[in-house]
Amino acid sequence: MLLSVLIQASSPNSLLGFLPIVLIFAIFYFLLFLPMQRQKKQQQKMLQNLQNGNTVVTNGGIVGTIVSIGDDDTLVLRVKPDNIKIQVSRSAVASLVSGEARKSQ
């Protein structure tokens, strides 16, 4: 009987045992998952707002200017210096080159 009283007294509250795990998940959510979701939303917004004349960088590192946008989510890019035109998927665009960066080139 004394042994059972000691075991019950030494066992921590189960709620307090889960508290560190809950805190770790909260930290992961705010440090990893939330910024990733924001970045994904910004990328989708950028892809939807692409227009003719924008200078973009593809996932493969190709820098080009959008000449036309197809109905099937394809883009035709003009790549310098030989003004070669290539067709890429809209999802292949990694980033939009800002206007300040274009003026300095």
Percent of the chain with pLDDT over 90: 63
- What is the residue whose two structure tokens read 């036309």? 68
Instruction: Indicate the pTM of the whole model.
Output: 0.66
Report d(CA 100, CA 105) in Å as an integer.
9
- The alpha-helical segments, DSSP class H, found in 1-105 are 2-10, 14-28, 34-48, 99-104
pLDDT tens for 27-55 read 988 899 999 999 999 999 999 999 999 99
Mean pLDDT of 51-71: 94
In the chain, domain spans: 2-46, 51-104
Q: What pLDDT is recorded for position 14?
A: 72
Mean pLDDT of 65-85: 93
Q: Looking at the domain 51-104, which fold is it?
A: SH3 type barrels. (2.30.30)
Q: What pLDDT is recorded for position 97?
A: 92
